[in-house]
Structure 1
Amino acid sequence: MKKHLIAAALAGALLTLAGCADESTAPSTQAQHLQPIDVAAVLVKPVQSWHTYTTRLESPQEVALMPRVSGVIERIAFNEGDNVKKGDLLFKLDDRPFAAVVASLDAQINSAQAALEQAKSEAKRAVRLTQRKAISTEQAESRTSVLRQREAQLAALQAQLTAAELDLEFTSIVSPIDGVISRANITKGNNIIAGQSVLTSIVSNEQMYAYFDIDERTWNSAFSNVTAASRQPVVMQKVGQNDFAYKGHINFIDNQINASTGTLRVRAVFDEDNNQLRSGSFARIKLAANSISEQVIVPDRAIGTDLKNRFVLTVGENNVLEYKLVTVGERYGSLRAVTSGLSQGDVIAVNGPARVGPGMPIKPNTVTIDSSDVAFTLSNDESRLVAKQ
């Protein structure tokens, strides 16, 4: 009997010791299984709001090239798609008919000059004879009238010659501007009509314009003090690109609000050095409001969506994640402004709710939010405006 009591007592003691051992090892085991999560303190930065508009690029100068004289194309002197300079020969017409007209007028002018010289001589003689009363006054006036007629005839022929020489010059059709030329619409050997036949088109390529419309409310609240002289900076993105890689400025603001749409027409200009911008291209324009305010900045991936709400996970007491509703603002590269819900000093899960959720204890791995390549305001180095927005 005593042996059984001793055995029972030993068994109870062993169970008690085992229970104590389990209780002592449970917390350490739990700590070993905590999820390691990257966390970071939110940034507070002075920022400007960016406004985005769509547009199509336009060339400052576009020419539909038409001939000034009718004729037959004898030669095409350009390669289609080339850059051309003002004054470069593009088309050459058969100039023989025009040269014949010039030669004929030259001959007529020579004849008119001889007749004029004779009329001058007779007019001078008439003056002398009148003084000696050798001829009547009427005869002297008649010779003077002939002189005036000969002068008028010569002037008329010289004007015709000038017009004929211009027509002869216009048989060489040159580029009126610097730019990029299109294809030849009419080829060698075809007859063209002055002022009607469109030979080709040329667009200037040193600059490109981008017109876009800003609604009246946005203009009054964000850009009311902007003028064309202030050269408000803008950045542009072409379709199919990720970066706003082109920098320009506003150089025209319309003089009135469009009453039908409630918008103001604005134009940005972009210098074109590498022939990468083409007239008619679709593009997106971004420009920053002049007002600057401090806002909380977090990685865009840290923001989760819950039905209609946006939220982030903050690190609370005992490294437990907490659910925080937020209101988001502008995006700046891979970062996002938060206008409400967070404050300076808050620590967040930088990768968002992908692997964790509210109420979950974590093992924090502290990192820093990198904002070195993001422009928050226009006061930053302009080269950083090409960051991905």
Structure 2
Amino acid sequence: MNISRETSGQHCSVEKRMTRHVCTCLMIVCLAAAATPCIGSIAFAQQAGARQGLPPPAVVIEQIKVQEVSSPAQFTARVEAIEAVDIRARVTGFLHSVDFKDGQTVKVGDTLFEIEPDQLDALVTSARAQVARAEATRGSAERTLTRNRDLFARRTVSQAALDEVQAAFDVAAADVQVAEAALHTAELNLAYARVTAPISGTIGRATFTTGNLVGPDSGSLARIVSLDTVRVAFAVTEGLLVTIRQQEADGSNIDPNKLKLSLRLANGTDYDAPGRLEFVENEIDPQTGTVAARAVFPNPRHILLPGQFVTLYVQRKDAPSLPVVPQTAVLQDSEGRFVYLLGKNNVVSQRRIDTGARVGNGWAVNTGLNGGEQVVVQGIQRLAEGMTVQPSEGQPVGGGT
């Protein structure tokens, strides 16, 4: 009996020691697993997957492009017409014809309206008759003056008589000038019966139709707007103006020819022609704290219309060119930002980068990339240094402003 109890006690002691050993082993395994970094786990998982015949993780890559990098100033601007004319009648009469279609392109000298010329033509005829009458009167007075001068030389007429004849001649000569001026006015009014285009451009709708009585008080008959070249008006903030003035004071003048001006339209598309800075006002508006400025843009297809709102971007033409990396490719840790580059045999490696300005959907890279490298833009969360991946091409990063 005593032997049995001793044997039983020994078995119990052995089992307790084995249990403590197993527990200690499990604790060591758990601590080791907790101390293993995530990257090691990912690499371990990849190795395990490779032993099991699993394919490498699929990623999307993109080639780094080198682009012009700048921070353009952005303004809300409004399109204005450089030339615009309201067509008005200069004489009174019934509208005889309208010689254009609404929205038509016209050139300088094209006939737009015709006012009935009959009455005006009659006034011209009457004015010519008055000129002829005045000239006849002047001729008669001139002959009378010549005779009286001869008689005065013979002492046949008095000085008073000669002076009276001289005055009559002067009045007749003045009457000729008055008649000629009246004839010129009548001829101008007759010419004004034909209303022509003073500028080239696009004409709007006619506000009067044939048969209406029009005159100087009728208001605008139509409006012509020149659209081949337009002006874009915007306001420069006081702070930006001060910066420009400081640069001028330091001797580094801002040359308008070195500025790149571009437009973005209301539908989100970029205008395809660059502009140039035309004018900057020399006074600050005390109510808004801004300075009026104007730029000029070519508009051969008449996409820009007066009154239209656009977004104006102003930047320097000599902007530096830097590699641009997509934002989706950039990761960050305690040491800074980095990307995964695709190397030989589809093996990825980390590359530390120093990013600069935003460029569209990407970052300009000051150091770390040269352009032409292939970076991972999708599937980046599963990667670790030295992993083998299965790459596919992605879309290039948008570099538009």
TM-score by length of 1: 0.74
Which amino acid in the other structure matches residue 57 of structure 2? Q
Question: Structure 1: which 5+ runs fail to align?
Answer: 1-22, 375-387
Among 341, 351, 370, the residue aligned to 2:377: 351
More off after superposition, 85-94 vs 249-258? 249-258
Specify the SS of the correspondent of 2:381: coil
Distance 1:311 1:166, change over 3 A: farther
Larger Rg: 2
Equivalent position of 2:21 in the other structure:
none
Aligned pairs (5 A) from 1:197-236: 197-221=219-243, 225-228=253-256, 230=257, 232-236=259-263
Among 104, 113, 116, the residue aligned to 1:82: 104
Q: CA deviation at 1:206?
A: 1.9
Alpha-carbon distance in 2 for matches of 1:345, 1:211:
40
Which amino acid in the other structure matches residue 259 of structure 1? P
Deviation track 1:242-266 (CA, whole Å, cap 9, x = no partner) reads: 3342222112222233333332322
The total of aligned residue pairs comes to 343
Which amino acid in the other structure matches residue 359 of structure 2? R
More off after superposition, 246-255 vs 291-300? 291-300
Equivalent position of 2:388 in the other structure:
363
Equivalent position of 2:143 in the other structure:
121
Equivalent position of 2:192 in the other structure:
170
- 8 Å Cα contact 2:131/2:176 also seen in 1: yes
Identity %: 23
Which amino acid in the other structure matches residue 388 of structure 2? K
Alpha-carbon distance in 2 for matches of 1:294, 1:241:
25
Question: Structure 2: which 5+ runs fail to align?
Answer: 1-44
Asked if 1:251 corresponds to 2:278, the answer is: yes
Aligned pairs (5 A) from 1:1-389: 26=48, 28-29=50-51, 32-39=54-61, 47-221=69-243, 225-228=253-256, 230=257, 232-289=259-316, 292=319, 297-302=324-329, 314=340, 329-332=357-360, 335-337=362-364, 343-344=368-369, 350-352=376-378, 355-357=379-381, 363-364=388-389, 388-389=400-401
Alpha-carbon distance in 1 for matches of 2:243, 2:65:
26
Deviation track 1:320-359 (CA, whole Å, cap 9, x = no partner) reads: 8989998762325x543257xx74479885425xx44277
Deviation track 1:49-106 (CA, whole Å, cap 9, x = no partner) reads: 2222222211101111111112110111111111101111100001111111111111
Alpha-carbon distance in 2 for matches of 1:249, 1:138:
76
Alpha-carbon distance in 2 for matches of 1:243, 1:331:
16
Which amino acid in the other structure matches residue 377 of structure 2? N
Specify the SS of the correspondent of 2:175: helix
More off after superposition, 102-111 vs 117-126? 102-111
Specify the SS of the correspondent of 1:79: coil
Alpha-carbon distance in 2 for matches of 1:60, 1:45:
35
Distance 1:32 1:154, change over 3 A: same
More off after superposition, 90-99 vs 142-151? 90-99
Q: CA deviation at 1:366?
A: 7.0
- 8 Å Cα contact 1:81/1:183 also seen in 2: yes
- 8 Å Cα contact 1:321/1:359 also seen in 2: no
Distance 1:302 1:256, change over 3 A: farther
Deviation track 1:169-194 (CA, whole Å, cap 9, x = no partner) reads: 11111111000000101111111121
Alpha-carbon distance in 2 for matches of 1:290, 1:220:
21
Distance 1:290 1:81, change over 3 A: closer
Which amino acid in the other structure matches residue 70 of structure 2? Q
Deviation track 1:3-53 (CA, whole Å, cap 9, x = no partner) reads: xxxxxxxxxxxxxxxxxxxx9x83633783542324568667663222222
- 8 Å Cα contact 1:86/1:174 also seen in 2: yes
- 8 Å Cα contact 2:81/2:227 also seen in 1: yes
Which amino acid in the other structure matches residue 357 of structure 1? Q
